[in-house]
Structure 1
């Protein structure tokens, strides 16, 4: 029977069928993500680690005569031994030291205050009376700051070491997903982009650039941060400063701040050692900081980043701290990756809107 001429277009059978299909699709998608939302971070981290470990997996697979399952198992085992176990151990020790440091910080401040009180201020320095009154107050404020930092570190790192069934379940989901993500010939991100409706060329461009930016950001911040944190912690340990593991973690996190990095914590350590009369240790820590810790960045960054495109320092900074606040400890990795995807998508879309002539002019201006 022919369709009535006065029937509205939006009530046609085809429109109703498509509307019902979209509605069901949205409802099922929301239900699915609501069901697995507690495991999303584990799955995302597995996808990121799988992409970063893919070159290693391929080398292992070629050495095992193409056995994919065995190569993936060996890669997962290496990730456990070389990454997960050390991270959990360091996080546990750092959390314990941060807790102990927050309890003993008052004694440290009292020691610094007593030594500072014995220092004679030259007569030509103005406002000497005010400086005498402000000294203890400044020391107390520093104590409050360090205590707050220690407590924040305890609450953040304890997420990695909490002995609950949820932690072990998250770890199992991460390792299980990593095992299968490694064996996928097409990475997870490219499979997701297939549902966006973009052209295959645009999909490949976004996926390749996102991987490049994410890899450069992680290697340029996380790896260098770990190295600087370890070296700074060793310097604090040799100098006899309490809580070297905790301070090493702090220096690793602060290494993302351009121009400051671990130098701020190292400078405080040198000042503290000098204030309590350990002049030799202060000089040694200062030399170690200036010759090794703060210069290793200039050596490692060109080697690790290479030709990969790195994000601007401001984006790295805000995305790392933002990820740390939103996702916890895993935000140190997840935050910069999300920022890398953000930059990649918007850059690719803006380039796709340019004409060939405009694109060439823009490329010439940037070079």
Structure 2
């Protein structure tokens, strides 16, 4: 019985029961097919990136859907997937010998610890903290590498899903739109926002990371830093972290080289990183990322941490996307079902794009 004394409508009971059944079945499917979640996310990401080209080839150039899908899949494989795959493969091969890697990492930390203690006279990096950092680095790297072992399987299944999305794109988009339990305006806004988030995370953030990585690589070569290619990859990955960014790599490297007696090179790396690498970060973020989508730093940080734990290296892209979508869905829910007119609702941006440029 409800508070008003009236019995609960049988239709409501049926709706709740059906929703519970759907949630249970969806949970079972996701639990047993968790390996393919990165494949689905990757397929959706590539679909959004290549969407307008697919419609151009099929609707304006009258290509066969299977031909357009094949060409776009090959192009994305050559231009996007293979470079990322080989970069990750190089890092995995360098970090594959975990014992040797951790020994070098321990020596690296100990050198920095001794140098700071001698200069400052205060034990900033205590033995306990060094042990914690070492254990965290070992566990984190092992977990990230282990979740990347099935990369080939993920890529194959991703393109399998992407093919069917390319062949019938209008049907796919209509099905997604109809499945959204929101008003049409919110569904339209959600689709437009989702596209911007994917483009910002899948293109904007990697471009900023690679830009900083290449600039830092030049500095590592100039000043003779050890393993410049490995440092390039680590700098590119670290640049995705807000606030600290690439400094978490080049600052310890500079201190390490000073501690090794290479004072000029170490100071050179520190100045080069603070000026040129930092300038590259600000330039790209205030030009490229501002045009795509302004993502809150906390969403990026927690998204990367969550993504790396779940998906491995691919979580650098998928993690922030999932976090952003979760926050966006909460805002849409508030706008959809809130009865308080005074509560600020989610602003729906003016649609400057043509209807065909949005997911309907």
CA RMSD of aligned residues (A): 4.1
**2:50 equivalent to 1:53:** yes
In structure 1, what is the Cα distance between the partners aligned to 2:17 and 2:248?
59
- Displacement of 1:272: 1.5
Q: Does 1:282 align with 2:266?
A: yes
Unaligned 5+ segments in structure 1 are 1-8
Residue number in structure 1 paired with 2:245:
261
CA contact (8 A) 1:222 1:332 kept: no
Partner of 1:103: 103
Distance 1:97 1:144, change over 3 A: farther
2:192 aligns with 208
Tell me the equivalent position of 1:5: none
Structure 2, unmatched stretches of 5+, are: 1-6, 349-360
Alignment of 1:124-135 (within 5 A): 131=122, 134=123
Q: Which residue number in structure 2 is paired with residue 82 of structure 1?
A: 79
Q: What corresponds to 2:164 in structure 1?
A: 180
Deviates more, 1:80-89 or 1:298-307: 298-307
Query: Cα deviations across residues 322-365 of structure 1 (Å, max 9, x unaligned)?
Result: 222233222211111112212222223333447889769989xx
Number of equivalent positions = 338
Higher relative contact order (CA 8 A, sep 6+): 2
Matches within 5 A, 1:174-323: 174-186=158-170, 188=172, 191-323=175-307
* Aligned position for 1:68: 65
CA contact (8 A) 2:147 2:312 kept: yes
Q: What TM-score do you get using the length of structure 2 for normalisation?
A: 0.75
For residue 318 of structure 2, the aligned residue among 334, 337, 342 is 334
Distance 1:360 1:17 in 2: 31
Q: Distance in 2 between matches of 1:328 and 1:151?
A: 13
Q: List per-residue Cα deviations over 1:63-94 (Å, max 9, x = no partner).
A: 96534322322221222222222222222222
Deviation at 1:261, TM superposition (A): 0.7
Q: Distance in 1 between matches of 2:38 and 2:57?
A: 27
In structure 1, the partner of 2:145 is 157
Deviation string, structure 1 residues 11-38 (Cα, Å, up to 9, x no partner): 99x9999899778766765565455443
The Cα offsets for residues 151-197 of structure 1, whole Å up to 9 and x where unpaired, read as 6334413533x3xxx54332211111122323443385663341244
Higher CA-based Rg? 1
